[in-house]
Structure 1
Amino acid sequence: MTEQQITAWLTLSMTPRLSGVRLQKILEYLSPQELLSLSKKELYSLKFTESQVRFLTAKSNQNVDKCLEWATKDGNHLLTAEDKDHYPPLLKEIPSFPPTLFVQGEVEILCSTQVGIVGSRNSSQDGLYITRQFSSELTNVGVTITSGLALGVDGHAHQACLEQNGRTIAVLGSGFDFLYPKQHKSLAMRIRENGALVSEFPPFYPPRSYNFPRRNRIISGLSVGVLVVEAAKKSGSLITARFALEQGRDVYAVPGSILNPNAAGCNQLLRDGAILVRDVHDIVHEINGLVNWSSTIQQKAVLSLPLPVKKEEERGQIEAGNQPILDLLGERPVAVDFLAERTHLPVNQVMMQLLELELQGIVASVVGGYIRLRGS
């Protein structure tokens, strides 16, 4: 791809308050380059806000330039959804796929057969043992292990894979200049040498609490299935599992004692229809069919049609459970902690609802929290 094409994708992905759903609707009609060639009048006709039009028509953008400079360094890769050679086809199929990916390491393995392994940051010794066992055995049958580099289950899944000389992918909730958690910096370096680090966030983007639910949709989107090991009832791992189900992926869960709070999430998943697994053979049996399915997925080219005259953008139906949060949002950013306090909901649940609303194009994450988009 040319630098001009990459610049166009970066500019579109960084456009302020542009939701993933809105972005995908735009890409159904216009390529990023075509969009940037439009006049201000045409952009306004497409319902872009004043700040968005100003951003899209700027002659230069320092943040875009920083990303382009980052991509010139050894081991760094900048992918766009238009890159048919390296952008993962499975990820391209999900709702609100990331328009750009920043990658360090072996970019080719993003298209390999992957199983996501997620679970509690405060897992028991039994949970960590189970994690390492599944990760090791899946690695030995040629599966790439994908997880989120978090403490607990994530970190042990990565480590067990590396100990078997396998390949593993860590999906970050920040840019590469702010590896998180800091305790896993050395592990991240090992993954970069024997796999890949992936982020949708520019290198200079710090970790924020609302980044991690977004990160979870990429873990499941890259994978043919997701294994959940020891997850509490309000665990962020359940967000990953929910994304996996919405994306048509299999969800595997390890059962646990009803007396163990860390098993409540997995037991809930099993009650809701997840696949119960006792050993790696239960997963491999399912994967055999999924691998054939994933190999048939082909990337769709971005359509370049004439500029349409569209009616007011349709928005998804707001679930009743999300309404209390939506009622607290306006044009000024509202912090997640404030929303949790006012709604008396756990932070993880608030984050899940905010992400649903963002994917519907109803709210947007900005510096300082979340805002409600106009017309929603």
Structure 2
Amino acid sequence: MKHEADIESWLQLCLIKGVGDESIRRLLVAFGAPAAVLTAPVAALERIVGKSIAKHLKFGADPDRINVTIDWLRDPTNSIITLADSDYPSQLLNISDPPPLLYLKGRRELLNAPALAVVGSRNATPQGLSNAEAFAESISNAGICIISGMALGIDTAAHQGGLRGASASIAVVGTGLDIVYPARNHQLAHKLAKKGALISELPLGMPAIGRNFPRRNRIISGMSQGCLVVEAALRSGSLITARQALEQGREVLAIPGSIHSPLSKGCHALIKEGAKLVESTQDVLDELNYSAAQKNPSTNEPVDNELSNENTRLLMCLGHDVVDVDTLCVRSGLTVESVSAMLLTLELDGQIASLPGGCYQKITK
């Protein structure tokens, strides 16, 4: 009963409109616990947070919001983690603005597991998606949990790879945990809740609001030992996460790509600024000073599947950059008809991917 009363007092404090995280932390430092804050005299509150916020505190939280959350907690997979909780992520305690309260759906024990943030573009290339999934699975098998933001693109691929590995995956979302955003990731959210975890600092019912997503990125990087950027344009939100990781004293790593790809320029910029250039899982483990208990075969250099001589020749002509059919005809000396037929075979075999504008890209597995 005492635990339930404690949770309710935390909710009564954290769900008051107009009282932000910084004010809550200052009040907790001054008074020690939410219950003490809620019963403190107005004059004492004003000395800590000023008249306006003290007024909000005395007005209190909407009881309906508290009751909805209490009902949500009746599901055994749901829980609330507070700054006073022994399970609160220890890594987050070291950042400048840790959230006073976290909503959790899934495995509580993952909160303090070794973790790596894997982030990147929502509009990733097929190769970028393949890289994110393969690296995440291999790193997860090495004993490191994968953390990302459940966005489409690289985030989704990273979660899928992490869940296939031994150490699962955590999604830090920018909505309340009773909302799945984007809706296309409903099945992924279900898998994360069952095998991994979903986390939010936002109250139940909070919809997808743009300003909340950059802010949640500090939790993604803050819970992690490092941040791996797979694909990112120069103005990508992933670079915000990477720079927050740097400010938090975390390692920043990036996978390079083609010099012609806009989605590689963000990674290249990070590498120029000192991020670790990553070509293999072992590069990640070395940078994190992490020794895997068992080496996973997926850490080895990838090799191509066996193909016919003609298809192999065309694959070599394709190289690793995006290329169109006309260029392939020039490089290979083959007709448009022959090249088109071979490209279809290679695409069905999963060796290449077709891109907008009639272009193709080799997929390294």
Assess same fold via TM > 0.5: yes
Separation in 2 of the partners of 1:60 and 1:16?
Answer: 9
Separation in 2 of the partners of 1:261 and 1:52?
Answer: 49
Separation in 1 of the partners of 2:5 and 2:198?
Answer: 25
Partner AA of 2:247 in structure 1: E
Which residue pairs with 1:183 in the alignment?
184
Which residue pairs with 1:164 in the alignment?
165
Separation in 2 of the partners of 1:267 and 1:49?
Answer: 49
The CA deviation at 1:166 is 4.1
Q: Output aligned runs, 1:124-135, within 5 Å.
A: 124-135=125-136
Q: 1:56 to 1:185 in 2, by over 3 A?
A: farther
The CA deviation at 1:21 is 3.3
Q: How many residues align?
A: 290
The CA deviation at 1:152 is 0.3
Partner AA of 1:98 in structure 2: P
1:224-281 CA distance string (max 9 Å, x none): 1110011011111111111111111111111223321111111111111111111111
Which residue pairs with 1:345 in the alignment?
none
1:281-340 CA distance string (max 9 Å, x none): 11111223699xxxxxxxxxxxxxxxxxxxxxxxxxxxxxxxxxxxxxxxxxxxxxxxxx
Structure 1 gap ranges (5+) = 292-376
Q: Check the 8 A contact 1:117/1:226 in 2, yes or no.
A: yes
Matched, 1:81 2:83: yes
Structure 2 gap ranges (5+) = 293-365
Aligned-pair RMSD on alpha carbons?
Answer: 2.0
Separation in 2 of the partners of 1:226 and 1:90?
Answer: 13
Moved over 6 A (4+): none
Q: Output aligned runs, 1:85-100, within 5 Å.
A: 86-100=87-101
Q: TM-score, normalised by structure 2?
A: 0.75
Matched, 1:251 2:252: yes
Q: Check the 8 A contact 1:114/1:144 in 2, yes or no.
A: yes
Q: Check the 8 A contact 1:40/1:57 in 2, yes or no.
A: no
* Secondary structure of residue in 2 paired with 1:47: helix
Matched, 1:222 2:231: no
Separation in 2 of the partners of 1:278 and 1:51?
Answer: 50
1:35-79 CA distance string (max 9 Å, x none): 112122322233334465244453863212222221122211111
Which residue pairs with 2:286 in the alignment?
285
Separation in 2 of the partners of 1:201 and 1:131?
Answer: 27
1:349-372 CA distance string (max 9 Å, x none): xxxxxxxxxxxxxxxxxxxxxxxx
Which residue pairs with 2:154 in the alignment?
153
Q: Output aligned runs, 1:1-376, within 5 Å.
A: 2-31=3-32, 32-50=34-52, 52-58=54-60, 61-84=63-86, 86-164=87-165, 166-288=167-289
**Greater RCO between the two (CA within 8 Å, min separation 6)?**
1
Q: Check the 8 A contact 1:117/1:154 in 2, yes or no.
A: yes
Q: Check the 8 A contact 2:26/2:48 in 1, yes or no.
A: no
Q: Check the 8 A contact 1:113/1:143 in 2, yes or no.
A: yes
* Secondary structure of residue in 1 paired with 2:91: helix
Partner AA of 1:102 in structure 2: Y
% identical equivalent positions: 38
Q: 1:216 to 1:290 in 2, by over 3 A?
A: farther
Separation in 1 of the partners of 2:65 and 2:280?
Answer: 46
Which residue pairs with 1:324 in the alignment?
none
Q: TM-score, normalised by structure 1?
A: 0.73
